[in-house]
Amino acid sequence: MIKIFNKISLALMFIIVVIIIKPQNTYASLALSQNGMNNPSAWAKEEIDKAKEIDLIPERIQGDYRNNITREEFSELAVSLYEILGGKEIMLEKEKPFTDTQNPKVIMANKLGIVSGKENGIFAPDENITREQVSVIIYRTLQVAKPKYSYSDLYEYKFQDYNLISPWAKEAVGYLYGVEVISGVGDDGFNPNGYTSREEAIILVKRMYDKVLASERTSRNGLTVSRSATVNRQEDSLMAKLKNLVPKELGKPYKWGGIGPNSYDCSGLVYSLFAKLGIELPRTSRSQASAGAYVSKQDLQYGDIVFFARNGKTINHVGIYVGNGEFVHAPQSGDVVKITTLMSGYYANSYYTARRVLP
């Protein structure tokens, strides 16, 4: 009797454990589904929701938004953009340009001249697509959907890795950058061979759609490459790079004649930092005072070069303004590269002039 009771007790305990654990497992699976790769990132959600509203996203790529997008998937996305921009209908008869995919959207994109295959009739549909390939496909899609647009006003932005962009992609990259559809990554690079996630690809295509819509609302014959906007973006990019470089030099010792990378004199620090931005300056502080354009003390902005004259007329020191009334400099022997105020004390009294060399 006791053995039977013990068996019943064990069975009941097992049932209770199952009842308790199973909902937890269910909730855990649900949580993983809700927080996993299936949903877009927080920064992308709003734009992706808008893209869904206008039927821009093919059903097969609605999900797994953080995965890299493939050549086949992006071809479908490009065709959706073509159709939503009012591209002409195209008839497909018995075209079979590729041996490894019969996807009608890929075939349509190929017939439109938006995408092309590789050697021997191969398309490689499951291969991840690169950033420069994405740029070219978006650019070609715009061209075939809007053939009456003017594409003569191009801009060629010199990313840090510009030389890595394939020659056949440079026009597309430059145009899309000029109309503010694409931007760089990291330290003012483009990363042409990097892959693109589904959510990134969707947002780029949605951005192209938005640009066309805004342009046609103002009755323009095409998109306008904003050279002033591009210059501002270039300036912002150089300033951001300088802000990243300055902290790396702090604490390095002063050395007369030093231009880095381990020690500097005052003009050597300025010379070296701007050289890393692609801006060539004279080597000495007095010569640097003739570079760029004059800027008044009250109009100083990050990156302006500030000069000092101990006797009020002969420049003997130089640094770079870093905001908040401060500048970075290599002061003197026995000291290190550091940030100092120019609003009071010796450097306020010996302040002489400033020059702006950022574009």
Q: What are phi and psi of 306, to 5 degrees?
A: -110, 140
Percent of the chain with pLDDT over 70: 84
Q: Are 320 and 246 in contact (CB under 8 A)?
A: yes
Residues 6+ positions from 239 with CB-CB distance below 8 Å: 302, 303, 358
Q: Please write down the long-range contacts of 51-59, taking CB distance under 8 Å and 24 or more positions apart.
A: 51/202, 51/203, 51/205, 51/206, 54/84, 54/209, 55/80, 55/84, 56/80, 56/81, 56/84, 56/202, 56/205, 56/206, 56/209, 57/202, 58/105
Structure tokens at 339: 């940030």
Q: Are 192 and 139 in contact (CB under 8 A)?
A: no
Q: What does the pLDDT look like over 220-268, one tens digit per residue?
A: 567 766 544 444 455 557 888 899 899 999 999 999 999 989 999 999 9
Closest to 175 (Cα-Cα) out of 145, 151, 206, 144: 151
Q: Look at residue 228 in the predicted model and tell me its pLDDT.
A: 45
Dihedral (C-alpha) 296, 301, 305, 308: value to the nearest 10 degrees?
50
Q: How confident is the model at residue 17 (pLDDT cuts 50, 70, 90)?
A: very low
Q: Are 17 and 9 in contact (CB under 8 A)?
A: no
Whole-angstrom distance, CA of residue 35 vs CA of residue 211:
32
Span 70-97, mean pLDDT? Answer: 91
**Mean of per-residue pLDDT scores for the chain:** 85
Whether residue 16 is predicted with pLDDT greater than 80 in this model: the reply is: no
Task: Order the strands of the 317-323 sheet from edge to edge.
Answer: 293-294, 351-356, 305-308, 317-323, 326-329, 338-341
Q: Are 281 and 341 in contact (CB under 8 A)?
A: no
- Conformation bin of residue 2: beta by default, left when phi > 0, alpha when psi is -120 to 50: alpha
Q: What does the pLDDT look like over 146-170, one tens digit per residue?
A: 998 888 766 677 788 889 999 999 9
